[in-house]
Structures are given as structure tokens and as C-alpha cells.
Structure 1
Amino acid sequence: MYEMKIRIRFSDIGSDQKLRLYELPKYFQDISIEHSEAAGVGIPYLAPRSLAWLLTSWQIDIERLPVYNEVVTVRTWPYSFRSSFGYRNYEIIDAEGRQIVKAYALWLHTDIANMKPAVTLPEEYSKYGLDEQLEMEYQPRKITLPAEMDEVDQVLVTEHYADMYQHMNNAMYVDIASDYLPENAEIIRIRVDYRKQVKIGDRMHIRRHLAEDRCYVAFYDNAGDMHVSTEFMIR
């Protein structure tokens, strides 16, 4: 297990003084990388070998969002490695020891020279160690979208949205999708399914479907192919 303490900063909150939704995947993404660095298998190890861990899906369950100036503990640990896949849990614990957010993610060990899966070697994943799988209501990776999705916007992917691989940063999809949620909606679960990489220069067509208890936002290319889908469950 790897953990870090975070104080919720002014720049991390919205007008309600609660942590913005997209900060959750940012925190979890960052702590995953920090864990890899601490284990000696981070970017300095992976990059010369043309390897990277690419995210394929998130599920984030929210009991409550932390608020401005609150100090929380963010934790992560892998609970399984299978072939090219790594399975990780995450949680956020408040000062009273209560779990307020829990999550899991599926990562793909990838040869970025040809964008093909690369088998994780025992000498690599053994450096992390394994912990118990977190108890939560695990949903399938694939998000089943409604048949009718209305186009609500378009986004040109610029350097602002990109990560070090010149792909759209994983957290930015949640950031953009959050703009199309109902006003003052209380989100209790976020799911994201990453199907195709989005690169600098790509134009994404954003489609939405609003149901009674959830909102779907998906990202399509000019040809109508879906790249990333999101589902926000509303209390």
C-alpha cells in the first residue's frame, strides 16, 4: 500500500467549496505514478524500455467529497496482475478515519512503440506487493450507452489537455464531461471507459444523455467512432 496526505487547496474546489470531481482521477492517477516511482518501476524505468501503464477504466464511488482546507489521506494498492493488466484500488480517508471515496482502476501494461500490450514480468510487479481487494460494488468495465445521445459540443484537443505521451490526459475527460451534468447534481459514482487514445489535434464531438438517476457523456471522433464514455450516477 502507498499513501499520501493532501490538504484540499483553494484551486481544487468549486463554488460549493467541495473538491471538483475531476480532481479525484487526478489524485488517483498521481498516486499511482508516485507508487511506481517509490517501487523503482516508475517512468525512469519504463520510458527507456518503451513501456507505460495506460488506463483503461475507472470506477469511483463517492460517499462525500472533501472540502476546502480539509486534510485527507489518499491510498492505493494493486490487488492483482494478470498478463498485461494491473488492477488497483484507491480510497480517500478523512481525519476521523472514515472512508469517503473508494475506487478501482484497470491499467494496461503497454509497449508504446507499437501500442501493443506487454506482459508484466514478475520482477516488475513483485516490487509493488499485493493487498486485499477492496470491498465495493464492482461494475463492468464497459459502459452501455443509451441508443440516443445528443451532440452538445465539440472540443479541439490542444496541448492544454495533453499528457507526456501527447494523448488527452485521463482526468480531462471527467473535467469536460462535468460541464454537462445537471446543475447542483450530487454525484455518487463516476465510471470512465477508455477505448481509443485521443491525441493533440483531434476534434472530439461530445454527446450526452440525461436519465433520471444518471448522466452519460461520451466522446466521438469526426467519423462517429466512440473513444471514451463516462457515466455519472446521481443521488
Structure 2
Amino acid sequence: MIDSKPIYEETIRVNNYECDFNQTLKPAAFFQHLTEAAGIHATQLGAGFDVLYAQNLFWVHSRMKIQFYRFPRVDDRVTIRTWPKTIQQKLFFIRDYEMFDAQGQRVAAATSAWLIINATTRRMIPPQSLNLNLPTHDRIGLDEPLERIGLAKDGQERLCVRAAYSAVDMLGHVNNSRYVEWICDAFPMETFKQHKLDWLQINYDHEIRPGEEVAVLANPTERDANLWALEGVNRSNDTRAFESAVHWQD
């Protein structure tokens, strides 16, 4: 049964296995919860995984930016809200998010861009050619355009990983939240002890398949020492898997 409510809401508890040494929710866990809420809402709107996959289609997370206001702690209860916002550039399905603590204060806000891909050809399908009637809402979670980042330049290799079983999702490629884990792992522990993560944007360029090797390159930008540019380079096929920008607070 289709539920056409334009805004989806759920309350979750922060689990200990999602938290870091500060006993606060890890950045990748934010991404996991937000994208899971998006998937549940898409299903309620009649455009979930099973419906699309039956048509040889699937959703692909293309871009996401999240602003962190506070990091919830173990056992905190937080409420997630998400909704389709608009279609951008006649190609991207834009979906926004908000996360609140038990007192109703914002914990995080995010905006994301999604594509629908043909499972066989891996080509993007224009929204106007699909029989989807997704409701949109003019509420704004994070008012960001999600353009190309374009900051990465001569980055230093900070991490090199090979995609294996634990990183791969139902579609047979690396899960989007695993990229965020790699981005965080590109910074030393001292960075997380001395600074607070302010915001993070990631643009996914090319999927990573099992067995492929990815190097994460990072460099601080010239305009702001707290703004870092990162990119994931697929060493197995010489493509860029993702680009990212990370901003820290002192």
C-alpha cells in the first residue's frame, strides 16, 4: 500500500557500535541512518528498491552534504525527517533531511542528490521518462546547490584500501557510507581529538566493485586551512571514484 505523505519521520536510538572514542555518533552512521530513512520513504511512496528493480532500475546516491550541529551520544534518541524536495538539472532527484534531539534541537541537516540508473547499461534515466509521481515539499533541510566540488589538487595519499565483502552492498558495489568511513580514516586520530567536524560533502563519481583498490588523497585548501579536499582514486581502472570536501572547527 502506497503512503503518499511528503515527509517521513522516525525516531531512533544511538547504538554503542555506531559511536567513536568520544561515545558520539560517527559521521558514517549519520549517512547510514539518513540513507536508510530515504529508502524507507521511497518504498512508502511506491518507488522503493523492489519496485524499481523489477523494472531493471535502481536508485544511486550521487551527492550529499551534511552539516553537523551536534553529535548525539550513546543511547540518545534522535528524530529523522526526510522528504523529496525538487528535481535539479532535469536529472537529479533532490532529497533533504533534518535530525533533531529529544529536546527538538537540530543535530544535523543534509541535502542529497539521487539518480535512477539502468541496472544493465549503468546509464542514467531522465526523471521525465519515468512513471514516478513523487510528492515534493518546499521545506529546506540544507540550502546547498550540490555542485561539483573541484578542490582536490596534488593530494597526499592517506589511505589505500581494497573493496572486499564487508564494503559491498546489495547492488554489488561499495556502499555509500563506506566511502565516508574511508574519508574519516584519511585523517589521524589527533584531528578528531583536537577538532570538531563541521560539515562534509561527498560526490560519487564512479562505482567501486569488489576487488578494486582505492587510494584516498587529501590536501588542505589554500583559502582555508580547516577546509580539506579529498578524492578517491580507483587504482584498478584509473578513474576517480569520489570527491569530497571536509570542514573542521577548531
TM > 0.5 fold call: yes
Following TM superposition, by how much is the alpha carbon of 1:124 offset from its aligned partner in structure 2, in angstroms?
4.7
TM-score, normalising length from structure 2?
0.87
For residues 1-235 of structure 1, the aligned pairs below 5 Å read 1-81=7-87, 83-120=90-127, 124-126=131-133, 128-134=134-140, 136-181=142-187, 182-184=191-193, 185-211=195-221, 212-222=225-235, 224-235=238-249
| Separation (CA, whole Å) in 1 of partners of 2:202 and 2:93 | 16
Note the alpha carbon deviations across 1:169-212, whole angstroms, 9 max, x for none. Answer: 00001111101222322111010011111111111112111352
| Separation (CA, whole Å) in 2 of partners of 1:63 and 1:94 | 11
Gaps of 5+ in 1: none
| Separation (CA, whole Å) in 1 of partners of 2:171 and 2:129 | 26
Q: Please tell me whether the aligned partners of residues 177 and 217 of structure 1 are also in contact (alpha carbons under 8 angstroms).
A: yes
Q: Please tell me whether the aligned partners of residues 41 and 124 of structure 1 are also in contact (alpha carbons under 8 angstroms).
A: no
Following TM superposition, by how much is the alpha carbon of 1:131 offset from its aligned partner in structure 2, in angstroms?
0.9
| Separation (CA, whole Å) in 1 of partners of 2:10 and 2:238 | 41
**Aligned sequence identity (%):** 19
Note the alpha carbon deviations across 1:22-58, whole angstroms, 9 max, x for none. Answer: 0011011101110011222212211110111101100
| Separation (CA, whole Å) in 2 of partners of 1:224 and 1:149 | 16
| Separation (CA, whole Å) in 1 of partners of 2:246 and 2:111 | 15
Following TM superposition, by how much is the alpha carbon of 1:224 offset from its aligned partner in structure 2, in angstroms?
4.2
Compute the RMSD of aligned alpha carbons.
Answer: 1.8
Note the alpha carbon deviations across 1:74-131, whole angstroms, 9 max, x for none. Answer: 11000113544210000101111112200000001111211111133598542x4211
Gaps of 5+ in 2: 1-6
Name the amino acid aligned to 1:162: V
TM-score, normalising length from structure 1?
0.93
SS in 1 for 2:192: coil
Following TM superposition, by how much is the alpha carbon of 1:138 offset from its aligned partner in structure 2, in angstroms?
1.2
